[in-house]
């Protein structure tokens, strides 16, 4: 199993969710996060004085899927979340040791 | 026509004021009818001005950070309440119980209404209006002056010391300087000082008191860096600040319109109507001028500057909302809007931390509006206006500074660094304005 974790532009969340759903991926966790990468922050102005906003709002999504799905999921996220502009985000794939559905006690692939 | 706010009551004798106000060409209005309409004007305009307290509360709530919103709401409702009690306790008689040309009014306590003449068997309506309607109308003005202070010193002044300052301001400082002009005291009698609805008496008075507070309390922690840079602290809610300014704008029709002090004749009705129009165009010009100035100076339209521009325009026209033509009112308001945008960064350069921009909008524009009176009103002189601005400025600044300093060395006027960091809502009230909201775009 793999954990696919992606940090994306917030307005792309719906497109990413639809792309993953069309691959048959049924679960997704989304978190509002802040951070910066190459895009850095930007400046805003308030009452005549400029200030830097270093941390930009992003959405982090997390899905755990069977390992053989990982490549397609990553590609689907990239397609859906990409704008070609700086600040589109990043995707990480991490090995997952175990999984369990709390209600039934099913484990690993059955739990996804 | 309106040399003193109590011109009507001061010249009580034998229907003189009403006779003066009504144009000879117009049909005579019965004295009881005039009495009723005058009273109605005071009451209706008074409750419009009362609601300005809500405008200030919302403007200030929007302009402070969310960790201080509940505290600024407490300060606003408390200062309105204290101002009203103090004006009953001592303020009204101190302001209006003054001899013509005098320097200080009567220190009698517990004002009460005397309407015996109007209620007598042979009813005499030459008083012009019911006593309580006048008391109520004047009371909401003192509350406005106090509202101005809370915005400037927000986010670091301690609650109770602030309220003690408000009590002294509304009981003593405001009434004494007000008596000099609206009580027909020395400024009115000797210098022909003219301030129709209070650019100086209300707005600059609040502004001077606020300036002294800002100087003595100091800037919010972290507002200015050691190398002189400004570290902006964006307000928690721009929609609330905007709502507040709209409420203030609405209330200002009562503030300026009601200061005609009469609605008992067609001439007065026309005057109030013209005042409404001038008040509105001055505010409108203040907004547009502030937007253009902020676009030119900062390459962006700053909403808070547009909001301050509305108030700057309103304060500017308040000293003389009747005499100017509509075009002149537009210009007076527009200058106010530009002054605000210039004064805000200037105060920051001086490291004077004014959270809501009350000093630019109320003090700077109050001075401008008062100076502009002789341009359109030939009864006023530049010399007399300058004497009034300086006399009231000195009196309010010195007395305010003394009160702030006494508070500083006795009970302490500033919240501790930890409390300021935590936010006064949790430190002083043990509550939050928005317990279910996130922190927004501002970390830390």
Write out pLDDT tens, residues B412-425: 999 999 999 999 99
pLDDT score of B441 more than 80? no
We report the CATH number of the domain holding residue B371 as: 1.10.3430.10
Q: How far apart are CA A15 and CA A22, in angstroms?
A: 11
What tokens appear for B37 in the block?
């309409």
Q: Which pLDDT value is given to residue B16?
A: 40
Contact A48 B357 (CB under 8 A): no
CATH of the domain at A50: 3.30.70.120
Range of the domain at A10: 2-111
Residue B24, number of CB atoms within 10 A of its CB: 7
Give the mean pLDDT of B154-171. Answer: 98
**Mean pLDDT value across residues B190-214:** 97
Give the total number of structural domains in chain B.
Answer: 1
Nearest by CB to residue B443, choosing from A45, A47, A55, is: A55
The answer to whether A7 touches A58, Cβ cutoff 8 Å, is: yes
Closest-CA distance, A97 to chain B, in angstroms, reads: 33
B249 located within any domain: yes
Residue B443 lies in a domain: no
What pLDDT does residue B438 have? 62
What are the two backbone dihedrals, phi and then psi, of residue A50, each rounded to the nearest 5 degrees?
-80, 150
* B86/chain A closest Cα distance in angstroms: 35
SS3 content of chain A, % helix, strand, coil (to 5): 30, 40, 35
What does the pLDDT read at residue A42? 85
Q: What is the predicted pLDDT for the residue at A52?
A: 86
pLDDT at B393 over 60: yes
Residues from chain A contacting residue B344 (CB–CB below 8 Å): 47-48
- Residue B442 pLDDT > 70: no
Within 8 A of B341 by CB-CB distance, chain A residues are 48
Task: State what percent of residues in chain B have pLDDT above 90.
Answer: 89
Nearest CB to A47 within list B304, B441, B443: B304
Alpha carbon of B274: minimum distance to chain A alpha carbons (Å): 33
Is B93 part of a structural domain of the chain? yes
Q: Which of these, B120, B130, B204, lies nearest to B393 by C-alpha position? A: B204
Helix (H) or strand (E) run with residue A95 in it: strand A89-95
Average pLDDT, chain A: 93
Grade residue B278 by pLDDT with cuts at 50, 70 and 90: very high
Answer whether residue B165 shows pLDDT above 50: yes
Q: Tens of pLDDT along B334-372?
A: 999 999 999 999 999 999 999 999 999 999 999 999 999
Cα B410 from chain centroid?
Answer: 29
If you average pLDDT over residues B154-166, what whole number do you get? 98
Q: Which residue of A has its CA nearest to B300?
A: A45
Distance CA B87, CA B181 (A): 17
Name the residue among B234, B297, B443 with its Cβ closest to that of A46.
Answer: B234
CB-based contacts of B295, cutoff 8 Å, min separation 6: B301
Contacts of A50 in chain B (CB under 8 A): 232
B345, containing H or E segment: helix B326-349
B25 vs B19, B22, B265, B328, CA distance in Å? 12, 8, 11, 28
pLDDT above 60 for B200: yes
DSSP annotation of B173: I
Give tens-digit pLDDT for B6-43: 544 443 333 344 444 445 555 678 899 999 999 999 99
Instruction: Collect all residues of chain A within an 8 Å Cβ-Cβ radius of residue B298.
Output: 45, 48
Average pLDDT, integer, range B381-402: 98
DSSP track, B411-438: T-SB--HHHHHH-HIIIIIS--S-TTS-
Which residues, 6+ apart, have CB-to-CB distance to B109 below 8 Å?
Answer: B89, B90, B93
Exposure string over B413-423, b if 16+ CB within 10 A, otherwise e: bbbeeeebeeb
Res B4 pLDDT > 60? no
- Kindly determine whether residue B304 and residue A55, on different chains, have CB atoms separated by under 8 Å: no
Chain B closest CA to A46's CA: distance in Å? 6
Kindly report, residue by residue over A47-93, the tens digit of the pLDDT.
Answer: 989 888 889 999 999 999 999 999 999 999 999 999 999 999 999 99
Determine the average pLDDT of the residues in B311-334.
98
Residue B27: its pLDDT value, please? 64
Enumerate chain B positions whose Cβ falls within 8 A of a Cβ in A: 230-234, 294, 297-298, 300, 302, 304-305, 341, 344-345, 348, 357, 441, 443
pLDDT of residue A94 exceeding 50, the answer is yes
Hey, what are B35's tokens?
A: 């009495």
Q: Is the pLDDT of residue B432 over 50?
A: yes
Residues B365, B316: contact at Cβ < 8 Å?
yes
**How far apart (Å, rounded) are the C-alpha atoms in residues B196 and B322?**
8
B232 vs A53: CB contact, 8 Å cut-off?
Answer: no
% of chain B residues with pLDDT over 70: 92
Q: Per the domain annotation, does B400 fall within a domain?
A: yes
3-state secondary structure of B84: helix
Phi/psi at B251 (nearest 5 deg)? -60, -30
- In this prediction, residue B444 has a pLDDT band, given cuts at 50, 70 and 90, of very low
- The range of the structural domain enclosing residue B303 comes to 30-103+129-427
What is chain B's mean pLDDT, rounded?
92
The count of structural domains within chain A is: 1
List Cα–Cα distances, B410 to A59, B78, B218, B413, in angstroms. 51, 22, 17, 9
Q: Find where tokens 């309506």 sit.
A: B125
Answer whether A38 touches B (CB < 8 Å): no
Residues 6+ apart with CB under 8 A from B394: none
Inform me whether the C-beta atom of residue A51 falls under 8 Å from chain B C-beta atoms. yes
State which residue of chain B sits closest to A33, comparing Cα positions: B441
């Amino acid at each position: 199993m793999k954990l696919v974790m992606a940090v994306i532009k917030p307005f792309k969340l719906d497109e990413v969710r639809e792309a993953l759903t069309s691959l048959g991926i049924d679960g997704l966790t989304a978190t509002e996060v802040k951070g910066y990468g190459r895009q850095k922050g930007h400046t805003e102005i308030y009452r005549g004085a400029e200030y830097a906003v270093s941390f930009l709002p992003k959405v982090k999504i997390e899905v755990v899927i069977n390992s053989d799905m990982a490549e397609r999921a990553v590609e689907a996220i990239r397609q859906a979340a990409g704008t070609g502009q700086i600040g589109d985000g990043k995707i990480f794939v991490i090995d997952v040791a175990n999984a369990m559905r709390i209600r039934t006690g099913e484990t690993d692939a059955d739990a996804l | 026509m309106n040399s003193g706010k109590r011109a009507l009551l001061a010249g009580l004798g034998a229907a003189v004021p009403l006779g003066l106000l009504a144009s000879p060409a117009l049909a005579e209005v019965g004295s009881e009818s005039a009495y009723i309409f005058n009273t109605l004007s005071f009451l209706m305009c008074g409750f419009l001005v009362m609601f300005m307290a809500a405008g200030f509360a919302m403007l200030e709530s929007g302009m402070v950070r969310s960790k201080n919103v509940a505290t600024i709401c407490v300060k606003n409702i408390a200062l309105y309440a204290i101002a009203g009690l103090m004006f009953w306790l001592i303020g009204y008689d101190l302001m209006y119980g003054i001899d013509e040309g005098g320097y200080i009014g009567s220190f009698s306590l517990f004002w009460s209404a005397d309407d015996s003449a109007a209620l007598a068997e042979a009813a005499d309506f030459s008083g012009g209006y019911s006593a309580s309607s006048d008391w109520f109308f004047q009371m909401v003005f003192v509350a406005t002056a106090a509202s101005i202070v809370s915005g400037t010193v927000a986010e670091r002044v301690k609650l109770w010391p602030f309220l003690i300052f408000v009590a002294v301001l509304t009981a003593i400082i405001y009434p004494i300087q007000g008596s000099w002009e609206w009580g027909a005291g020395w400024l009115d009698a000797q210098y022909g000082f003219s301030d129709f609805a209070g650019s100086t008496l209300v707005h600059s008075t609040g502004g001077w008191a606020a300036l002294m507070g800002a100087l003595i309390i100091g800037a919010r922690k972290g507002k200015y860096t050691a190398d002189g840079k400004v570290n902006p602290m964006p307000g928690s809610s721009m929609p609330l600040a905007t709502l507040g300014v709209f409420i203030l704008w609405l209330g200002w029709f009562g503030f300026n319109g009601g200061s005609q002090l009469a609605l008992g004749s067609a001439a007065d009705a026309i005057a109030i109507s013209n005042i409404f129009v001038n008040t509105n165009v001055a505010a409108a010009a203040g907004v547009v001028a502030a937007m253009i100035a902020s676009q030119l100076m900062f390459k962006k339209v700053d909403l808070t500057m547009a909001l301050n521009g509305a108030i700057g325009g309103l304060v500017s026209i308040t000293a003389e909302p009747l005499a100017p033509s509509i075009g002149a009112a537009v210009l007076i308001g527009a200058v106010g809007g530009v002054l605000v945008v210039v004064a805000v960064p200037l105060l920051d350069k001086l490291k004077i931390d004014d959270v809501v921009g009350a000093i630019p909008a109320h003090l700077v524009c109050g001075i401008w509006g008062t100076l502009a009176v002789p341009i359109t009103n030939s009864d006023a002189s530049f010399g007399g206006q300058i004497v009034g601005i300086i006399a009231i400025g000195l009196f309010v600044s010195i007395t305010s500074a003394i009160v702030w300093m006494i508070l500083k060395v006795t009970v302490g006027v500033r919240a501790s660094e930890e409390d300021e960091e935590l936010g006064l809502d949790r430190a002083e009230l043990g509550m939050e304005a928005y317990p279910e909201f996130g922190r927004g775009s501002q970390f830390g």
